[in-house]
Amino acid sequence: MDEYYTRLCIYAQGLTKDKFKAEDIVQNVFFKVWHKRKKLSFDISIKNYLYKAVYNEFIDQYRRSRIMSPLEEEHIKHLNSIVEEQDYTEINRLIEVVKKEISNLPPKCKTIFTMAKLEGLTYNEIAEHQNISVRTVENQMYKAFEIIRQKVGDKMEGILFLLFKLNPKTNY
């Protein structure tokens, strides 16, 4: 695989126009290949497979980045509704409530929630990593949101944005 790394990075950089994104794409491809190594057929050309995988990863990242813009706008709207109050004591109190509720989530629910919010994994990636169905991931996320929403109310989205987007190193 090492013999392909540089060439794949150059190919990915041609797609992304960004050296660091290109390296991320290639590393993601190698990570996925490693996890699927037992399922891969040796009848295929590894070179062709890797180039196609890099292209597909580029497309996936491009789609995710396009989807994130409206999502980020929604988060900013919720964030603005919280910050407009300018009662920073209340905001800090709500952050602490959310942290407490996250730490008190049932273990499976907490793991899935933190993988999605802290690590930024998609539901499909979580399902694959945890060896569960996407539906189970969706149910656990819904459960986590409901538990947090009961304590924080309509300010939940903004608080979660403050907690995970502005402070991504938060640990639970």
* Domain boundaries, given as residue ranges, for the chain: 2-65, 85-164
Cβ pair 114, 168 in contact under 8 A = no
What would the CATH number be for the domain defined by 85-164? 1.10.10.10
d(CA 89, CA 95): 10
Residue 87: the pLDDT is 56
Residue 88: the pLDDT is 60
pLDDT digits (tens, 9 = 90+) for 104-142: 999 999 999 989 888 888 999 999 999 999 999 999 999
**Long-range contacts, 54-60 (Cβ 8 Å, 24+):** 54/8, 54/11, 54/12, 54/15, 54/25, 54/26, 54/29, 55/15, 57/12, 57/25, 57/28, 57/29, 57/32, 58/12, 58/15, 58/16, 58/25
Higher-pLDDT residue of 38, 167: 38
pLDDT digits (tens, 9 = 90+) for 26-44: 999 998 888 887 777 766 6
Residue 163 has pLDDT above 70, yes or no: no
SS3 of the chain: the string is CHHHHHHHHHHHHHHHCCHHHHHHHHHHHHHHHHHCCCCCCCCCCHHHHHHHHHHHHHHHHHHHHHHHHHHHHHHHHHHHHHHCCCCHHHHHHHHHHHHHHHHCCCHHHHHHHHHHHCCCCCHHHHHHHHCCCHHHHHHHHHHHHHHHHHHHHHHHHHHHHHHHCCCCCCCC
Hey, which CATH number is domain 2-65, 3.10.110, 1.10.1760, 1.10.1740, 2.40.30? 1.10.1740
Which residue in 166, 108, 157 sits closest to 137, CA to CA? 108
